[in-house]
Structure 1
Amino acid sequence: MTSQTSVKTLLILGASGDLTGRLLLPGLARLVARGHAPGLVLVGAGSDPWTPEQWLERIEESFADENSQAEAYGRRELKRIRESTSYHQLDVTGEGQLAGLLAQLEGPVAVYFALPPRISQLACEALASDRVPAGTRLVMEKPFGSSEESARHLNETLAALVPEDHIHRVDHFLGKATVLNILGLRFANNFLEPVWNREHIEKVEIIFDEDLALEGRARYYDGAGALRDMIQSHLLQIMALMAIEPPASVGERDLRDAVATVLRASSIKAPYARNTRRARYTAGSIDGRKVPDYAKETGVDASRGTETLAEVQVEIDNWRWQGVPFILRSGKALGNKRKEAVVTFRPPPHLPKGFTGVDAPNQLRIGFGPDTLAFDVDVNGPGNVLSLDRATLKAELSASDLLPYGEVLEGILTGDPLLSVRADTAEDCWRIVDPVLKAWARGSVPLQEYPAGTSGPGDWLA
């Protein structure tokens, strides 16, 4: 049963890192300013010898936008956070150091590991279960481990420290509004669910193409790549939501059980040279901005062969989806920014003779950030009523008033695990991609190239 006791202290490990300044603190600022975190105390910790002034400067920068727009109550809350915060230099992997800090903080405490996976693992191993205060929540950033084996080992380490419902494996990509938008679309419309299967759907594509390049994140990204960074940790979760059986409720147990069932049935099958592709960007330009060759970026080890664009075809071996390819693609430094799921329906079995015009399959597109809906249908065109033309029905879907990391933090602070990845699911995501990673490491799939600012290698579909 999930505990609903609110967190009193948020401890961010890796407080001097990029993730904290760029995403975590701005997300927290919106959460606090909107009144979702009353009385919360923020504590930062890191290996850098920051002074209190340096920590406050980071908070001021991260809170600036929200502070300028907030109402009086929000500004007071943001001020309270700034006045009560503190920063501690410590080696989280050192014996007793993290436990010693936890003992000083008002609980319950949520410990946010804004750290590389390997350091998070070592930090948890350095903790003794008898020195973790009751009610402590452990928050792990993606990627959760680096393989199925390492994810299982990390799960075992965490389970020895706190109960499963106090472990949050966060996925900021899937905000609560996005999850509910997908579920509402699928299960609240009786015309849609009867055709949501292999009889009527030809393929499902889930695409996250970014126009951003490396942006100084070589230390993390060059050891991860597009398959680990996005497909393993984010796009498989979206795929599962698109493919689940109707749950009894949108409660976390029913929903996460349904997600786990889909992922257990999922795999990427050999030959990997046919069902997967990978590529890396070379020098180019995006919107007039010059982008250097990835292999020559500072901090990149070109010999690793890290991909910046990956595409895999996942098969779901169950009654509903047998034979329907789920194509998951993500890449950096691409010319067209594209974040959407595209459902392509099978063409009608027969078009009455006499009609002319568009004969392309109908498509349903769900856009992410902002969440949108577009449905392509064929209708009789103006003038010649026998000529079919393509029309698109569009709608904006519900949006949260919080930033993505604000939604994640709200779930952590209130003990709601809906947006948290469950232990078995985290391991299954790695099980799905591990064979591909091994095949790529053997060179079974060529590493292609594409100029930054294009749609990918020439032989890839745009």
Structure 2
Amino acid sequence: MIDRLVVFGGTGDLNARYLLPGLAALRAAGHLGDRFRLTCADRSETSTEQFREWAAAQLDRYGGATPVEARQAVVAAADFRRCDVTDADSVAALVAGGGPVAAYLALPPGLFATAVTALSRAGLPPDSRIVLEKPFGEHLADAVELNRLLADVLPEEAVFRVDHFLAMSTVENILGARLANRVFEPLWNSTHIAEVDIVWDERLTLAGRAGYYDRAGALKDMVQNHLLQLLCLVAMEPPISLGERDLRDRKVDVLRTIRPFTAADVARRTRRGRYVAGRIGDRDVPAYVDEDGVEPDRRTETFAQIELELDSWRWSGTTFRLRTGKALGADRMEVAVRFRPVPHLPFGHDGRVGPNLLRFGLAPEDMTLDLTGTGSAARTFAPVRLAARMPPPDLPPYGRVLLDVLTGDPVLSIRGDEAEESWRVVEPILAAWSADNVPLYEYPAGSDGPAS
């Protein structure tokens, strides 16, 4: 296990909100020992003492549920170094000596290539690892070039393209329901499943992320990585094992079966939108174009929905719908599997009986199954819901991400060819949206999104 973590972008939002609390959770669970050392770096003029004060405040704010002793141990293990990621000598001073290091690029995606080049020139100690956040590149050609740069530095198994969605316990819930239950797996195909909705709708607006989000938009921010990853878990063939090669091979297979979008497909099977002023709960929300840091001429979407068709024996005829939006009226984060109706109901029903629906809640993490049962009147049917709340995970998602990085388990990271295939899926959509070949609908903040 690596006991040295270097975070480039050390005073950024990612480190404050997720990495520091994740490390504290690892410490509390006994995964980090006294030998662990954390070095955080960026271009700011910050001393180690100032950084520790800042880190303690962030842990109080975002990791307050973790025992105070664990938070204090992470702060005590941390130091700060000024570093310019464009300068190989500056980078070398951080990573040289002291055995293998995990270099975490908590940086804007536009700096990934620069940072990887600097790491290559600096020279990483043997058995080191590089960690990159999504989005992996800005487009397909960018991802291919970044993969080439990474291959010059480290072997593929030492490169961690992390997606914290895969570290949520929902992943295990989906795989467990599918692969460990005879009642579901024989039905897990287009003969029985009509539609699958993978949804990440949120009331949250920009939350101070305009600098990144306005250049990315909903399609790159959520669909190209997070939601396509969940699609892979739902649609993949049963792997031989849950080892990194078997699982990731099957995920790549799913991406390769997604039917490429033609111009007509993009117009018919994709939608984009942007929120205008409205009200969410008891607060007034300005229009997206009036948010601080937004450039209206970019025409960045805050809502994206795409319908996918998979050209495979298992899924031909099933619709997969991926949807995400900001500033909506309700949080809805789920994978919903809608089964086809039975061909005939022999008894009467009250009009509320519909197809069976299996729902995996992502936040909070739960599972429901809508069935048809006996109604109150004789010989009638009525809907019945079975519900289960999943037990809380032993680690938060970023705790799991960091544990996998430090122990060298890449099973939940994105492989290079997988990242490239994800871009292949969305590139025709990005091109059409950039050319304004698909309308940019407006929807009021606090609504359900663009009108049908």
Return the TM-score normalized by structure 1: 0.93
SS at match of 2:215: coil
- Separation (CA, whole Å) in 1 of partners of 2:370 and 2:101: 48
Alpha carbons 1:110, 1:412 under 8 Å: kept: yes
Aligned: 1:434 with 2:427: yes
Residue 281 of structure 1, aligned match among 275, 281, 284: 275
| Deviation for aligned residue 1:50 | 1.6
Aligned mate of 2:227, from 229, 235, 242: 235
1:64 to 60, 67, 71: 60
Seen in structure 2, the aligned counterparts of structure 1 residues 275 and 203 have a Cα distance that, compared at 3 Å, is same
Report Cα offsets for 1:328-387 as digits up to 9, x if no partner. Answer: 0011111110000111111111222555543421111110133211010111112x1322
* CA spacing shift, 1:70–1:208, aligned 2, 3 Å: closer
Q: Secondary structure at the match of 2:164?
A: coil
Paired residues, what number? 449
More off after superposition, 447-456 vs 124-133: 124-133
- 1-structure distance, mates of 2:141, 2:379: 59
2:141 matches 1:143: no
| CA distance in 1: counterparts of 2:137 and 2:62, whole angstroms | 33
Paired residue for 1:313, among 299, 307, 311?
307
Q: CA deviation at 1:206?
A: 0.2
Aligned counterparts of 1:335 and 1:66: Cα–Cα separation in 2: 25
**Where do residues 87-236 of structure 1 align in structure 2 (5 Å cutoff)?**
87-104=80-97, 106-128=98-120, 131-175=123-167, 177-236=169-228
Aligned-partner Cα distance in 2 for 1:377–1:385: 18
User: What's the offset of the Cα at 1:238?
Assistant: 0.3
Deviation at residue 310 of structure 1 after TM alignment: 0.2
Does the alignment pair 1:13 with 2:8? yes
Cα distance in structure 2, aligned partners of 1:322 and 1:41: 51
Instruction: Please state how far the C-alpha of 1:67 moved relative to its aligned partner.
Output: 7.7
- 1:3 match: none
Identity, % of aligned positions? 46
* Structure 1 residues 364-403: aligned runs within 5 Å: 364-382=358-376, 384-403=377-396
Q: Secondary structure at the match of 1:226?
A: helix
Q: What is the RMSD computed on CA atoms of the aligned residues?
A: 1.7
Structure 2: state its 5+ residue gaps: none
Structure 1 residue ranges without an equivalent (≥5): 1-5
Residues 138-178 of structure 1 show CA distances to partners (whole Å, capped at 9, x for unaligned) of 00000000111111110110110011111000001222522
**1:290 and 2:284 are equivalent in the alignment:** yes
1:30 corresponds in structure 2 to 25
Measured at CA, do residues 68 and 181 of structure 1 come closer, stay the same or move farther in structure 2, by a change above 3 Å?
Answer: closer
Deviation per CA, 1:286-316: give whole Å up to 9, x if none.
Answer: 1212211111111111111100000001111
Query: Which stretch of the first structure deviates more once superposed, 446-455 or 172-181?
Result: 172-181
> Partners of 2:11 and 2:65 in 1: how far apart?
25
Check 1:69–1:196 CA distance in 2 against 1; reply closer, same or farther (3 A cut): closer
- Structure 1 residue 226 displacement after superposition: 0.5
Aligned counterpart for 2:341 among listed residues 347, 356, 369: 347
SS of equivalent residue, structure 1 residue 168: strand
Displacement of 1:84: 3.3
**Letter in structure 2 aligned against 1:377:** L
Once the two structures are TM-superposed, the CA of residue 400 in structure 1 deviates from its matched residue by 1.3
Q: CA deviation at 1:53?
A: 3.0
Distance in 2 of aligned mates of 1:314 and 1:435:
13
C-alpha displacement of 1:66 = 8.3
Give the drift of 1:223.
0.4
CA distance in 1, matches of 2:210, 2:64: 33
Task: Tell me how far apart the structure 2 counterparts of residues 42 and 412 of structure 1 sit (CA, whole Å).
Answer: 14
- Is 1:269–1:315's contact at 8 Å kept on the other side of the alignment? no
Name which of 407, 413, 416 aligns with 1:420: 413
